[in-house]
């Protein structure tokens, strides 16, 4: 059996959880079958049972095209390129809407069964219109078409499965829940502190950590606004890069600069750090904070838990299936109005509640350490990539009637 992955992200060009997912799932599946990855970029690698080939997403001339539409047209062009050449896969497996048009073409033109993993859903990300303009209508159409024509849909959490069934015309029997995973050997507590030295973090004082992109979805602005309520002795490390839009990038810059005027222990690392550096930051953090307003799974939480760090996270989406309130961390309710369900109804209250959770853990080292130890055990029990690869292989065989 051979599976062909279509994805926007693949190392070294990874900026989000979907890219992390594809990297590790492809690696583990290649121990079970032949895997080919076609992605956006310049990759050209081949190992035993794993072939990776990048396609140039910038090759389409778009002079005088509206800036917000250029990413859509380049994405479609890349998906067409991905369907060129030899197509000998038994299964096509798509990750994020960026690559789903490639899967649509493969199913229609080559008759290859299509599987879609839903890392997030466009109907639940209306702020993407800020980034894509009317292109958001195109991305939403691509996603809807791919999900509804897929032979199987993988949801990364039970909550995401419910969202798929709510927003799309899909037979429930076609939707399976398979969690994200983690490399338990790679993501583990480390004594190395070179990254802390590099970024000017005081190793003698505890810190709360954020790791993620600058986007409405990740709720980073709510955490920045919470800083004024966090104990002044607590360092705040914001590892946040890759802003979705210039607007939110400016908003982030202004918000951080304002809070840095009143306290000097706020460090903004405005870049996507390496995996080794992230593991160090997780390992030495007293608390990890995930303030997302929408999160189908939240792979960053299991990364922190694997490094034995207690978590304070918003009680939304798949996070509720990852972080156990009172055992591996603290879940903070996010009040949302039905008229605007994707923003905090009372943002200052949400920021205060995030700060209260952080302050509670900062004041109780024993509780933090207990939660960190329990979190590591939970990750080991439920989120091992090897087991997840076997679940995925079983689904492939079911689609191909090989079981």
Q: pLDDT per residue over 26-56, tens digit each?
A: 999 999 999 999 999 999 999 999 999 999 8
- The predicted pLDDT at position 15 comes to 82
270-281: average pLDDT: 93
278-282: average pLDDT: 97
pLDDT category at 402 given cuts 50, 70, 90 is low
- Check whether 281 has a pLDDT greater than 70: yes
- Check whether 337 has a pLDDT greater than 70: no
- The predicted pLDDT at position 25 comes to 97
For 294, phi and psi rounded to 5 degrees? -150, 125
* Region class of 319: left (phi > 0), else alpha (psi between -120 and 50), else beta: alpha
- The predicted pLDDT at position 339 comes to 45
250-273: average pLDDT: 93
Q: What is the mean pLDDT of the chain?
A: 93
pLDDT category at 401 given cuts 50, 70, 90 is confident
- The predicted pLDDT at position 336 comes to 65
- The predicted pLDDT at position 341 comes to 47
Per residue in 123-146, pLDDT tens?
A: 888 878 877 889 899 999 999 999
Sorted by where each starts, the structural domains of the chain and their CATH numbers stand as 2-181+384-400 (3.40.50.2000), 194-382 (3.40.50.2000)
pLDDT above 90: percentage of residues in the chain: 80
Per residue in 237-256, pLDDT tens?
A: 999 988 888 888 999 999 99
- The predicted pLDDT at position 241 comes to 87
- Check whether 59 has a pLDDT greater than 80: no
Residue 200 token pair: 């000017």
pLDDT above 70: percentage of residues in the chain: 97
Tell me the C-alpha distance between 279 and 302, whole Å: 12
Tell me the C-alpha distance between 315 and 156, whole Å: 16
Per residue in 338-387, pLDDT tens?
A: 444 456 666 899 999 999 999 999 999 999 999 999 999 999 999 999 99
In this structure, the strands spanning 44-47 and 50-55 are antiparallel
For 396, phi and psi rounded to 5 degrees? -55, -50
The number of beta carbons lying within 10 Å of the beta carbon of residue 203 is 10
Residue 216 token pair: 């409405």
- The predicted pLDDT at position 202 comes to 97
């Amino acid at each position: 059996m051979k599976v062909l992955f279509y994805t926007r992200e693949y190392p070294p060009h990874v900026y989000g959880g979907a890219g992390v997912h594809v990297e590790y799932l492809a690696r583990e599946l290649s121990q079970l079958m032949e895997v080919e990855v076609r992605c956006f970029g310049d990759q050209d690698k081949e190992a035993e049972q794993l072939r990776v080939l990048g396609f140039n997403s910038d090759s389409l001339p778009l002079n005088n095209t509206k800036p917000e539409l250029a990413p859509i047209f380049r994405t479609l062009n890349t998906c067409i390129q991905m369907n060129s050449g030899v197509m000998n896969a038994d299964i096509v497996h798509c990750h994020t809407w960026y690559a789903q048009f490639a899967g649509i073409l493969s199913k229609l033109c080559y008759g290859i069964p299509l599987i879609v993993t839903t890392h997030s859903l466009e109907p639940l990300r209306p702020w993407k219109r800020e980034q894509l303009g009317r292109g958001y209508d195109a991305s939403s159409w691509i996603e809807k078409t791919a999900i509804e024509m897929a032979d199987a849909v993988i949801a990364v959490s039970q909550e995401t499965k419910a969202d798929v069934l709510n927003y799309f015309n899909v037979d429930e029997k076609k939707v399976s829940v398979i969690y994200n995973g983690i490399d338990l050997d790679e993501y583990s507590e480390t004594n190395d502190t070179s990254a802390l030295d590099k970024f000017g973090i005081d190793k003698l004082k505890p810190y709360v950590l954020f790791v993620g992109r600058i986007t409405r979805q990740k709720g980073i602005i709510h955490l920045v606004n919470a800083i004024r309520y966090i104990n002044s002795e607590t360092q705040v490390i914001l590892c946040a890069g890759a802003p979705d839009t210039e607007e939110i990038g400016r908003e982030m810059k202004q918000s951080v600069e304002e809070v840095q005027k009143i306290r000097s222990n706020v460090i903004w690392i405005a870049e996507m750090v390496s995996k080794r550096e992230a593991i160090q930051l997780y390992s030495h953090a007293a608390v990890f904070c995930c303030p997302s307003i929408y999160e189908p799974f939240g792979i960053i939480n299991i990364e922190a838990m694997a490094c034995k760090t207690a978590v304070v996270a918003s009680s939304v989406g798949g996070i509720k299936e990852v972080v156990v309130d009172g055992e591996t961390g603290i879940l903070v309710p996010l009040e949302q109005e039905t008229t605007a369900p994707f923003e905090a109804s009372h943002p200052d209250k949400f920021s205060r509640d995030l700060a209260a959770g952080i302050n509670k853990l900062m004041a109780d080292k024993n509780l933090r350490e207990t939660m960190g130890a329990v979190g590591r055990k939970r990750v080991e029990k439920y989120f091992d990539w090897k087991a997840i690869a076997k679940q995925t292989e079983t689904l492939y065989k079911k689609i191909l009637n090989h079981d």
